[in-house]
Each structure stands twice: as C-alpha cells, then as structure tokens.
C-alpha cells in the first residue's frame, strides 16, 4: 500500500506541476483572471492531495484498508474536482460545451472532504 500511495501521490504532484506551468505560461493570455484563478485552484487542490497521499503512505497508525479508502476518496475527489475545473475553465479555448460538469466540481470537493473526515475518524480510534 505504501508504494501505491507514493506512486499515485507523486503522479498527482507531477501532473499538478505540469498543469501549473501550462497555466502560467501558455494559458495566461487565453484565460480571464477568474478562469485563471479557478484553474489555479484545481492545481492547488491536486497538489495538496498528492502531498497528502505521500504523508498517508508514511503513517503507521492506519491499516492498509483505511489507507485504501483514503486513496480512493482522494483520487475520485481530485479527478472530479480538479479535472472538472480544468475542463470548465478552458472551454473558451477548446470550444467544448461542458456546462454539465458544473455540478461535478462540488461532488469532487465532498469526496475530498470525506477522505479527510474518514482519516480523522480513524486517527481518533487509536
């Protein structure tokens, strides 16, 4: 489980760094200030949760089954939250009509929150 968390966490981080650089250099002239801010929020949350997975990989208090639940909640949450933001903020560039993704972002946020609450509950039981 430790290796899995490290690989997935590191992968989320490297993708966040790439997307952050893309936003700073290639998208800054194509997105409004609000769109850029939203895109950066997606990058930031992806980075936070990638780092969190690295930290969870090193915590011996939690059994692998609990770490797996956190992994699933963080992965699904990050994909739904950050990816929906990336896609929604770049619709002026892509021309895609993705307004249906609007409700997906908060669902992703709820999954991220659920991962943290689950972790807190598990920590309190030790």
Q: What is the mean pLDDT of the chain?
A: 96
How much is the pLDDT for 126? 76
**Are the C-beta atoms of residues 112 and 73 closer than 8 Å to each other?**
yes
Whether the pLDDT of residue 11 is over 90: the answer is yes
What percentage of the chain reaches a pLDDT higher than 90?
97
């Amino acid at each position: 489980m430790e290796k899995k968390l490290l690989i997935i966490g590191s992968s989320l981080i490297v993708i966040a760094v790439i997307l952050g650089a893309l936003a700073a250099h290639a998208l800054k002239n194509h997105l409004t200030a609000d769109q850029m801010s939203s895109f950066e929020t997606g990058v930031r949350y992806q980075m936070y949760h990638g780092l969190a997975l690295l930290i969870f990989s090193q915590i011996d208090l939690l059994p692998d089954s609990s770490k797996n639940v956190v992994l699933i909640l963080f992965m699904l949450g990050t994909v739904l939250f950050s990816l929906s933001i990336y896609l929604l903020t770049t619709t002026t560039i892509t021309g895609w009509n993705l307004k249906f993704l609007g409700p997906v972002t908060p669902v992703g946020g709820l999954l991220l929150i659920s991962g943290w609450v689950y972790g807190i509950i598990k920590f309190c039981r030790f």
